[in-house]
Amino acid sequence: GENVEQHPSTLSVQEGDSAVIKCTYSDSASNYFPWYKQELGKGPQLIIDIRSNVGEKKDQRIAVTLNKTAKHFSLHITETQPEDSAVYFCAASKAGNQFYFGTGTSLTVIP
């Protein structure tokens, strides 16, 4: 099956700085890569996603890049704010069926 690795496990940044989280996947057939934000006591919330026919996608302060050859994808958050503090999960999927999740990154934005 698919194996998704995520780094770092924890990340602290100063407010206004950028944060980058990286994931690798093993199954070259995976073609859908969502990123989820999970706040304490809540379910994962989709923040951005990318499909294998696209190399980069941006939504305001959030961007995701995908390198299919190297089988890795990254989440970039610019101008971080305290409300960005949460656990972030990457995932990989074939055709949007079962999601294989990374182990999560706990992001802390220091005011």
| Residues at the interface with another protein (CB under 8 A) | 4, 6, 31-32, 34, 36, 41-46, 49, 51, 89, 91, 93, 95-99, 101-104
Distance, in Å, from the CA atom of 98 to the CA atom of 36, rounded to the nearest integer, reads 15
78/68 Cα distance (integer angstroms)? 23
- Is 80 or 93 the residue whose CB approaches another protein more closely? 93
C-beta of 6: minimal distance to another protein in Å? 8
User: 25 Cβ partners below 8 Å, 6+ apart?
Assistant: 2, 3, 4, 5, 33, 71, 72, 73, 92, 100
Question: Which one, 46 or 110, has the nearer CB to another protein?
Answer: 46
Least separation, in Å, of the C-beta of 76 and another protein?
20
